[in-house]
Amino acid sequence: MKAAVIREYGKIKLEEAPKPVIKSGDDVLVRIRYASICGSDQHIFKGEFHPRTTLPLIPGHEFAGVVEEVGSEVKNIKPGDKVTVDPIIWCGKCPACEVGHYPACTSLKLVGIDLDGGFAEYISVPSRMIYKVPSHISDEHAALIEILSIGFHASARAGLEKNDNILIVGTGKVGQSILHAAQTITTGKIIMVDILEERLALAASAFPGIITINARQTDPVAAVKELTGGRGVDIAFEAVGHEVTLEKRYNPVRIAINAIKGGGKVCVLGLSDHPAEILMKELIWKEARIISSRVSHGEFAKVIEALDKGVLNPDRMITGIFELGDAQKGFEILDREPEKHLKILLRV
Ligand SMILES: NC(=O)c1ccc[n+]([C@@H]2O[C@H](COP(=O)([O-])OP(=O)(O)OC[C@H]3O[C@@H](n4cnc5c(N)ncnc54)[C@H](O)[C@@H]3O)[C@@H](O)[C@H]2O)c1
Ligand SMILES: [Zn+2]
Ligand SMILES: [Zn+2]
């Protein structure tokens, strides 16, 4: 089969690789149709996930396709079904797994990060990782289910409710997945912050009711206070990670802390390699809660339901589609032109 392989950092090339086979009666062989480049893939590509990720690697943990073959024990999934794959593999033995808190598994692995993934024609996975997708949902949208599940999980972790006003710091792939999820839950104000006007405009074109703030021009904390009648938001999400430092502005986590109401919540998702400076009394005076959110926990089902109902707008996230053989171009363009691109899909 054809697969896009990283053998050295900064290069991804189409190669001939062995076609995976069904190894156990519980396996499902999927013919992949679309995969999507994630921020984590960009880090892997540049060698920033070293030593967790080893080369050579077929990356890809966001993908969808059609079932080609199923093992003898697989029920309810059959050849021809449109499916996507939840890439999470938990150990089942650690204290978090013992209580079913799988995203907190201390030896969590992801297909496409810790082992070969979906930038390939085929993948074979255990049936528990498979989610069926209604046939009217496009293959392109199906390839976005994983990233959208990140937003639904963060909303669940933060306990987002119907009338909550929220702030999302970072309007990248993760921030916009939180936006997609949040607008299905709350009718309150949704305020998005970024430093790239184009990304804010992209988010507003998907959901015109949101409020956008460019942190280069406007102090986000002051703006949030004004927009909420001095109260602050109920929940602030941080979805930046590797921040661009701005003069006269707090870092994204501290913006979130300062933008919430007394008793409010901050939910952090960014995976920076550097400490974020925060002032504890700003948290303590509000008796605020900081919650973290990692990957997802069965929220694929919620995303599929929302796509089925047509309440998301995933077309607005897709800014480019390349052939699998042009994966290199996809990675380069995402790095070079973040203002023009958000999600780049690879057609397999
Ligand atoms: N917790 C999880 O489950 C999870 C899942 C996937 C990715 N991540 C992490 O989330 C982070 C965001 O990922 P992404 O793919 O959305 O990245 P991204 O680069 O697409 O988005 C980050 C955004 O932050 C903006 N930004 C940078 N500095 C800023 C500042 N000072 N103020 C406001 N905005 C600023 C950038 O312009 C960009 O639009 C990364 O660290 C990634 O590794 C976490
Ligand atoms: Zn991802
Ligand atoms: Zn575990």
Q: State yes or no: pLDDT of 156 exceeds 80.
A: yes
Query: How far apart are the CA of 52 and the centre of ligand 2, in A?
Result: 16
Assigned CATH topology for domain 2-144+317-347: Quinone Oxidoreductase; Chain A, domain 1 (3.90.180)
Query: How far apart are the CA of 271 and the centre of ligand 1, in A?
Result: 8
How many whole angstroms separate alpha carbon 199 and alpha carbon 184? 20
Query: How far apart are the CA of 169 and the centre of ligand 1, in A?
Result: 9
Q: State yes or no: pLDDT of 199 exceeds 90.
A: yes
**Structure confidence at residue 187 as a pLDDT band (50, 70, 90):** very high
What is the greatest pairwise CA distance in the chain? 62
Q: Nearest residue CA, atom 2 of ligand 1? A: 294
Number of the ligand closest to the Cα of 59: 2
How many whole angstroms separate alpha carbon 250 and alpha carbon 146? 31
**Structure confidence at residue 78 as a pLDDT band (50, 70, 90):** very high
How many whole angstroms separate alpha carbon 142 and alpha carbon 183? 19
Number of the ligand closest to the Cα of 93: 3
Cut 0.85: pTM above it:
yes
pLDDT tens, 264-301?
999 999 998 899 999 999 999 999 999 999 999 999 99
Question: Of all atoms in ligand 1, which is nearest to the CA of residue 269?
Answer: 1
How many whole angstroms separate alpha carbon 305 and alpha carbon 257? 32
How many whole angstroms separate alpha carbon 55 and alpha carbon 68? 28
Contact predicate 68/121, CB 8 Å: no
Q: State yes or no: pLDDT of 52 exceeds 90.
A: no
Q: What integer best gives the mean pLDDT of the chain? A: 97
Q: Mean per-residue pLDDT for 1-23?
A: 97
**Structure confidence at residue 50 as a pLDDT band (50, 70, 90):** confident
CA atoms within 13 A on the CB side of 18: 5
Residues 84-103 as b or e (16 or more Cβ within 10 Å = b): bbbbbbbeeebebbeeeebb
Please tell me the CATH code under which domain 157-292 is placed: 3.40.50.720
Q: Nearest residue CA, atom 33 of ligand 1? A: 194
Do domains 2-144+317-347 and 157-292 share one topology? The answer is no
Question: Of all atoms in ligand 1, which is nearest to the CA of residue 342?
Answer: 20
Query: How far apart are the CA of 156 and the centre of ligand 3, in A?
Result: 21
How do the domains of the chain map onto residue ranges?
2-144+317-347, 157-292
DSSP reduced 3-state for 169: strand
How many whole angstroms separate alpha carbon 156 and alpha carbon 149? 10
Q: State yes or no: pLDDT of 250 exceeds 90.
A: yes
Query: How far apart are the CA of 286 and the centre of ligand 2, in A?
Result: 33
Residues within 6 Å of ligand 1 by CB: 39-40, 150, 169-175, 193-196, 199, 215, 239-244, 246, 252, 269-271, 293-295
Q: State yes or no: pLDDT of 176 exceeds 80.
A: yes
Query: How far apart are the CA of 91 and the centre of ligand 3, in A?
Result: 4
Helices (H) and strands (E) in the chain, counts: 11, 17
pLDDT tens, 112-152?
999 999 999 999 999 999 999 999 999 999 999 999 999 99
